Structure 1
Amino acid sequence: MSKTILITGSTDGIGKLTAIKLAKDGHSLYLHGRNVDKLEATIAEIKEISNNENIHGFVADFSDLKAVQKMAEEISSQISKIDVLINNAGIYGSSQSQNMEGLDLRMVVNYLAPYKLTNEILPVLKNGTATRIINLSSAAQSTVSKAVLMGEQQVMEQQTYAQSKLALLMWSFYLAEEEPDLQVISVNPGSLLNTKMVKETFGHHNSEADKGANILYDLAVSDEYNGVTGKYFDNDRGYFGNAHQDAYDQYKIDALISTTSDILNK
């Protein structure tokens, strides 16, 4: 059965590869990118590859939470339902460390933006059929500092990256509890995959990008994962496993959600 699927950060890397696989199956896809020309070129390319005309897109710079809000409003006005949301957009290295509001760029793009987008379009997601939300975490997970989250302290980018990915995972577990009618799965798609971000950051890779795209595809549409929610899939190991201990600490989860709400409600 054809599904309506939204993939953020889908003009490059495993997001784009996943979109191609899903487009070939005939699903209706909504892609996202921050550059309109690149997004339009990606849509045209995937249409040609897949012979699927049901591919559209949204433009938003995820380092700007106002742009995320605008994208959420566009989605809500244009789409009646979403069956699968893949929160794939992410950043590691960048030429600047903070956005215009003084928040760390990794925290915004990797955590606050998907948090805001997902919550703003919850009614659209709830209209979907057996809706799945796939959140991309990482093997890199580190205890979230409130000061770093709020932009009051700056640390090395690898630390903020790891904190942002654990924050996303902790929120995923929270969301699974809060919205039992939705399936919420966190995933480490694989360490050092052959993507643009990994090449620019590390200069080498351990596995092909298809490894990540294949697990995203399966988690999004495979019957094998029907009813699975509130779990973390570690694709380095190939199975659902344990995340960082903080992801199971209700006090820390509640504190994270409270601080997040304060930031977004400013």
Structure 2
Amino acid sequence: MSKTIVITGSTDGIGKLTALKLAKQQHNIYVHGRNKAKLKEVISELKEASGNSNINGFVADFSKIEDVKAMAKRINETISTLDVLINNAGVFKSKTAKSANSLDRRIAVNYIAPYVLTNAIISKIEASEAPRIINLSSAAQATVAIPVLKGNEQIAESASYAQSKLALTMWSFKLAQEYPKITTIAVNPGSLLNTKMVKEAYGQHWSSAEKGQKILVELATEEFYKDKSGQYFDNDQGDTKGEFNTAHPDAYDARKVEELITQTEAILESL
């Protein structure tokens, strides 16, 4: 059965590959990018390559909370039911350390943006018969320092990236508890995949981008995963493909998770 699927950060990398694969399966796809011209080009390319005309998109710069809220508003206005949300958009290296809202750019894009977007459209997701939220985590996970979360302390890109990915994972587990009807899974799609972000960050790769695309498509659509909510899938593990694994210990610490959510809400109230 055709699903309505939103994939953030899908004008290149594994997001784009995932959109193409799902489009070929004739799902109703909404892609997202921060550049209007590029988004239009990708939509046209995906339609031609998949033979699927049900591909649309949203423009939003995820380093700007106002853009994220505007995108959420458009989703609420144009989509009646959302079956799958894949929070794929992410950043590692950036020209500027801070976002438009004076937050660390990696914290803003990788954690705050999906937090805001998802919570703003959660009713659309709950309206689905079999809703899923797939959050792109990473093997890189580090304890979230509140000064870094608030943008009061600047640290190395790799360190804030790891903190942003743990924050996303912690929130994913909390989301699974709050919305038991929604299957919410945090996933490390694979370390050092052959993507633009990895090339910019490390100048090399270990695995093909298709490795990440394959697991995202499976998590989004396959029946096997419907009862795996609140878990962490590690695509670096296993012999032939990844497997569910243990995330950073902080993700299971109820006190730390509550503090993260409280501080996140306080940040958003102050913006």
- TM (norm. structure 1) is 0.99
The corresponding residue for 2:109 is 109
Contact 2:35 2:59 in 1 (8 A): yes
Correspondence 1:229-244 to 2 at 5 A: 229-237=229-237, 238-244=242-248
Distance 1:229 1:114 in 2: 17
State percent identity of aligned pairs.
Answer: 58
Correspondence 1:61-140 to 2 at 5 A: 61-140=61-140
Secondary structure at the aligned position of 1:226 is classed as helix
The one-letter amino acid paired with 1:163 is: Q
1:246 maps to 2:250: yes
1:210 Cα deviation after fit? 0.2
Distance 2:158 2:115 in 1: 21
1:163 Cα deviation after fit? 0.1
Contact 2:171 2:257 in 1 (8 A): yes
Unaligned runs of 5+ in 2: none
- The runs of 4+ residues in structure 1 deviating greater than 2 Å are none
Secondary structure at the aligned position of 2:158 is classed as helix
Secondary structure at the aligned position of 1:261 is classed as helix
Correspondence 1:31-50 to 2 at 5 A: 31-50=31-50
1:90 Cα deviation after fit? 0.1
Secondary structure at the aligned position of 1:46 is classed as helix
Distance 1:77 1:265 in 2: 24
1:220 maps to 2:224: no
1:168 maps to 2:191: no
The corresponding residue for 1:197 is 197
Distance 1:29 1:129 in 2: 17
Residue deviations 1:65-113, cap 9 Å, x none?
0000000001001100100000000000001000122100000000000
Residue deviations 1:10-40, cap 9 Å, x none?
0000000000000000000000000001001
Distance 2:129 2:75 in 1: 17
Q: What number of residue pairs does the alignment pair up? A: 266
The one-letter amino acid paired with 1:183 is: T
The corresponding residue for 2:157 is 157
The one-letter amino acid paired with 1:265 is: E
The one-letter amino acid paired with 1:98 is: K
Distance 2:17 2:102 in 1: 33
Contact 2:135 2:168 in 1 (8 A): yes
- TM (norm. structure 2) is 0.97
Secondary structure at the aligned position of 2:185 is classed as strand
1:259 maps to 2:253: no
The one-letter amino acid paired with 1:130 is: A
